[in-house]
A and B are shown apart, each in its own frame.
Chain A
Amino acid sequence: METVNLTIDKKQLVVNKGITILEAAKGMGVQIPTLCHMKLDDLNIENRPGGCRVCVVEVEGRKNLAPACCTEVQDGMVINTHNMRVINARRTVVELILSDHPFDCLVCAKSGNCELQDMAHNLGIREIHYQGEQSTYREDTSPAIIRDVDKCIMCRRCEMMCNEVQTVGVLSAINRGFNSVVAPAFEMNLDHSVCTYCGQCVAVCPTGALTEVDETAKVIRALSDPEKTVIVQTAPAVRAALGEEFGMEPGTLVTGKLVSSLKRLGFDHVFDTDFAADLTIMEEGTELLGRLNKFLGGDKSVKLPILTSCCPAWVKFFEHQFSSLKDIPSTARSPQQMFGSIAKTYFADKLGIKRENLVVVSIMPCVAKKYERGRDEFKVNGNPDVDHVLTTRELAALIKLSNIDFNSLPNDDFDQPLGESTGAAVIFGTTGGVIEAAIRTAYEIQTGKELPRLDFEELRGMEGIRKATIDFNGLPVNIGIAHGLGNARKLLEDIQSGKSEFHAIEIMSCPGGCIGGGGQPYHHGNAEILKKRQKAIYLEDKNKTLRKSHENPYIKKLYEEFLGNPMSEKAHHLLHTEYFDRTK
């Protein structure tokens, strides 16, 4: 590797050629502040527009200050990262940004988590010398995401996620100068656009410009309504991240405390979406085998690969952009919706109450789930199967609001019958998990033999697209995995052009899968956090006594008592769905 010699803040150093001043400085313990820049190592995600100009440094011999995030090191460079000229410029730039930012920090959804707030604090800004008009733009509320563009600082992270990572192409900068905003084309509102509500824009927004629709108040109201029985389900990825909101190390599993806190909050029954994930595997796995066997039997009408359908943003993505493929994904509803459907039929019957008096709340790592729960096909006579969705972050806020000291809570167990789950369900929370869970069950059903191993390392990891061939006792099954919709697009284009060799593909919209969901605690560009959450998920799986969905005793019972068999007519009615052509 070629190296260059340079001087940063009077210290000489030798660094690899091709890196930026920012990286070189970081390597020697100099933390140049950044605002628009964001890099998720190993995920191949970087936002580097060089727009905020907060990271400017002095490169001796150059007329103007240089942005450290996009200036490559050169041999002999002499760099000052914090002399008077630099500090003055940096502070002035931040003051300018603040001068065009609402001063409602105290009541902002992002307060305490805002990178602009931190920047102002770290630079010791106590006065804004340049006051003036603030740019204003109408607020845009969609079923899942709120855009409060007045708080936008034009870092363009959301745009990068939406266009480059997700290839959804909704957000881009429009208008000019002081009136520039990031918005959908023709200044449409999000709900008129092809937005998938994946929430990755929300996940990376440094300020309160993009946030999830807050349903906390609705949940509190339901909890205090004596007429209602309020039950809650928690998605697998939540337990691997919620602790971060209470100062715990990323990757700390807080399943027991999570259950405890939900009981303290007053939920009548605390259940697990993992139960529904096991149910999903029963349905989706059966569907996969059905299609695979017909295909292998020479039935030309059967289409392969089968695609997973747990991720609502992914569903909306293909409905908009690949509607010609809408008969390929599994018809199985997502675990959230399977849970809601079973809760408002099977469980409501058990309790002997009307579905209208049963309120189902979901705790999700996701903002698209807020949209999914509102889809018409998931309602019965206008009553939704899932009533409210809280993100991991909203739950944390609710716990804090309710005077619960999360860290000192005892561990508690989920209630039954909808709280039992296997390790296969837990790994739904990470990229690769759904397909691994499906294989654990499908293999045993298909071959009638016990799996020789449970851990499929070849399906795990953070690579954007992964491929593996799993030996089903002599039958090679080709598996594809994509996380991030841009990666999904590549696999879909292969399917469209007839080049795909896969029998089954798992797709998750968010980088990392649900652990990196738009509703999770903010990672602030630190990819290590995602990796630690992923590790925690696999640890939880390993610690489970039961690790195959079809071994879940309550699932067996559910089929015996209520559904009959997987893919039965009742199952089809309650657990499957259809997709729509949303091409405009």
Chain B
Amino acid sequence: MSNYKMNVLICGGTGCKAAESANIQARFKNILEEKSLEDEVQVIMTGCFGFCEQGPIVKILPDNTFYVRVTPSDIEEIVMEHFIKGRPVERLLYKDPKTKESVPATKGMDFYKKQLRIALRNCGFINPERIEEYIARDGYLALATCLTEKTPAEVIGEIKESGLRGRGGGGFPTGLKWELTAKSVSDKKYVVCNADEGDPGAFMDRSILEGDPHSVIEAMAICGYCIGADEGVVYIRAEYPLAIERLKIAIKQARESGLLGKNIFGTEFNFDIELRYGAGAFVCGEETALIHSMEGLRGEPTFKPPFPSQEGYMKKPTNVNNVETFANVPVIINKGASWFNKIGTEKSKGTKVFALAGKINNVGLIEVPMGTTLREVIYEIGGGIKDGKEFKSVQTGGPSGGCLTKKFLDTPIDYDNLIAAGSMMGSGGMIVMDEDDCMVSIAKFYLEFTLEESCGKCSPCRIGNKRLHEILDKITQGKGKEEDIERLQELSHVIKDTSLCGLGQSSPNPVLSTILNFRDEYLAHVKDGKCPAGQCKAMLKYTINEENCTGCTLCFRNCPVGAITGERRAPHFIDQALCIKCGVCYEKCKFDAVKLA
């Protein structure tokens, strides 16, 4: 980067790319050439900056100016004003929602203030398609240190001491997993990177692979060295074309640089990586299902033991770790376990990446130290609830997590606290709900997901989740009975108790946690026939107040199904049998005559 006076970093994550960041890059190049600035200003497509709500994002170095919601038509102005005249384009700067003032750099933004980026350290900073940029940020130093200065046992000891736990959901101690696989005796072993990210709304792993693929490659090689494997496989969803492309480029570059292949760093260690594409089945995130899918079999879990560390891919000992887990490894080696284990809580060390979504102002990807509270994440980093609405619940742990209420807002986030609160860490999905969200419908939504994604192998998950969904559906249709709530709980407990894998063992969590925390809302549905959030259409009833109705016919003219009748200047009526509860009459009425019950 040193020959250029300025660097333009354009977010090349999937979200910003969808919002024309490639055109922004092209526009920059054109205009810079036009102005003969191409040797002065370098344009780089980076990985995700995380602040997706404000994308496409363009960052200018060395002054750290952070432009948001940039469009191709803004580029000329940035070049003319900022690059040539040295005046940042004020209108493209981020505005603090509270002070309404422009914040030129990330360090002044609430979204970034409390973040600590370890796994995402290079995302939005380097060009992921150039290995030199990764190396310039101490890339492959950890691998070199391990291969030339440490024994596998020492490296495993370092990982164990760091307290790193699996970031894919289970939270199993990574060092211990490596140790178990290292101890398995076999002529062949495998390192597998689980990049089958499947939680709705989650894109932690995708962002790492798109923004910093080498960190995962380096960590896999380190793991291979530790456990005695010479082959690594990344199992990645085929729906991640950009991540796949960048991984392919990274693997090719690593091979060309001798960082993958034979005799790495002149040692006897050989290691190479290939890709295997998943068809997007959620259950393939479960490691035994993932391994079966890699083998060309149906992606469905099998009973453990044997654990993959004993008998995994091709019946050989296999170490499976998630993308984010791997991304932490090189930093731990470079900075030391004692640096890493000072971050976080007693039993959960380091940071965690979350995908913030739902009714929150700052939707995006964040990385915070373990122990950060939900309140800090939602209100400070997330900028609070959209449209000034009331916070109702936050769902963590993806579709198998739980919905936590206000009383848990000050809970420090770590593996054990979230489980104690009735949810789980999961892979890092975090969906915020406000007063307009119906918790019965939310539970139903998640059940719909697990229902689709159940592999169908074991009966409680295959049929039990279907029955849970049917009962929830009945309740949202206004046909539920009070005993349905107990039935939901009973069935949920049996499904959790008897299911074969983690999917079924956790799929009823949204049901149980919403009943536990929002029982009143369930009761309102089954006893009073009302949906307090007004989301369950079947339970809504639109009527016209005769006194207020002026007979303006506006509702009559807008009703899409002809459910409204009445003469001009006389009160109108809604035929309940025809009404589809679309709410158009309610929105159109200027006299507050349409009432919602």
Contact = CB atoms under 8 A, between A and B. Distances in A.
Nearest to A92: B494
B458 A97 contact: no
A133 B494 contact: no
A96 B460 contact: yes
A142 interface: no
Contacts of A176: 281, 452-456
Interface of B: 281, 298, 300, 302-303, 305, 451-460, 462-467, 470, 487, 490-491, 494, 496-500, 505
Contacts of A156: 457
30 contacts: A49-B457, A51-B457, A51-B458, A53-B459, A53-B498, A64-B497, A64-B505, A65-B497, A85-B497, A89-B497, A89-B498, A92-B494, A93-B459, A93-B494, A99-B463, A132-B467, A133-B470, A153-B459, A154-B456, A154-B457, A154-B462, A156-B457, A172-B298, A174-B298, A176-B456, A177-B454, A177-B455, A178-B454, A178-B463, A178-B465
Contacts of A53: 458-460, 498-500
The residue in B305, B453, B467 that gathers the most chain A C-beta atoms within 10 A of its C-beta is B467
A216 interface: no
A65 B302 CA distance: 15
Lowest 8 CB-CB distances: which A-B pairs, in order? Answer: A180-B456, A177-B454, A96-B463, A50-B303, A130-B467, A132-B470, A92-B494, A53-B498
A176 to B, nearest CB: 6
A178 B494 contact: no
A173 B457 contact: yes
A150 to B, nearest CB: 13
B298 A93 contact: no
A300 interface: no
Interface string A512-549: 00000000000000000000000000000000000000
B451 A52 contact: no
Interface string A162-197: 000000000011111111100000000000000000
Given A50-B302, A173-B300, A178-B451, A96 B456 contact: no
B139 to A, nearest CB: 39
A174 B497 CA distance: 26
Contacts of A85: 497
Contact of A67 (B303, B465, B496): B303
A468 B566 CA distance: 96
A121 interface: no
A93 B460 contact: yes
The residue in A67, A96, A156, A175 that gathers the most chain B C-beta atoms within 10 A of its C-beta is A96
A348 interface: no
A88 interface: yes
A120 interface: no
A56 interface: yes
A176 B467 CA distance: 16
- Chain B interface mostly: helix
A174 B467 CA distance: 21
Nearest to B298: A173
Interface residues of A, number: 38
B460 A133 contact: no
Contacts of B451: 177-178
Interface string A48-90: 0111111010000000110100111000000000000100110
Contact of B458 (A50, A132, A178): A50
A361 B466 CA distance: 47
A174 B300 CA distance: 11
Contacts of B491: 92, 130
A133 to B, nearest CB: 7
B495 to A, nearest CB: 9
Nearest to A66: B303
A71 B498 CA distance: 13
The residue in B459, B464, B467, B497 that gathers the most chain A C-beta atoms within 10 A of its C-beta is B459
A100 B457 CA distance: 14
A120 to B, nearest CB: 13
B457 A180 contact: yes
B123 to A, nearest CB: 33
A343 B384 CA distance: 89
Nearest to B474: A132
Contacts of A172: 298
Nearest to A177: B454
A130 B469 CA distance: 11
Contacts of B505: 64
Contacts of A64: 496-499, 505
A129 interface: yes
A57 to B, nearest CB: 11
A358 to B, nearest CB: 49
Nearest to A101: B463
Contacts of B466: 100, 132-133, 177-178
Contact of B462 (A49, A89, A133, A177): A177
A65 B498 contact: yes
A51 B455 CA distance: 11
B282 to A, nearest CB: 9
A51 B453 CA distance: 16
Contact of A97 (B300, B452, B459, B465): B459
Interface string A448-486: 000000000000000000000000000000000000000
A180 B462 contact: yes
A270 B534 CA distance: 77
Interface string A473-506: 0000000000000000000000000000000000
A177 B456 contact: yes
A80 to B, nearest CB: 13
A49 B455 CA distance: 13
Contacts of B487: 129-130
B468 to A, nearest CB: 9
B302 A99 contact: no
Contact of A72 (B300, B305, B453, B455): B305
Contacts of A175: 456
Contacts of B500: 50-51, 53, 67
Contacts of A100: 462-463, 466
B298 A178 contact: no
A196 to B, nearest CB: 22
A93 B490 CA distance: 12
B26 to A, nearest CB: 41
A52 B460 CA distance: 8
The residue in B298, B491, B494 that gathers the most chain A C-beta atoms within 10 A of its C-beta is B494
A99 B463 CA distance: 8
A100 B470 CA distance: 13
Nearest to A58: B497
Contact of B459 (A70, A71, A96): A96
Contacts of A72: 305
A153 B487 CA distance: 23
A177 B467 contact: no
A100 B490 CA distance: 19
Interface string A32-56: 0000000000000000011111101
Contacts of A174: 298
A185 to B, nearest CB: 11
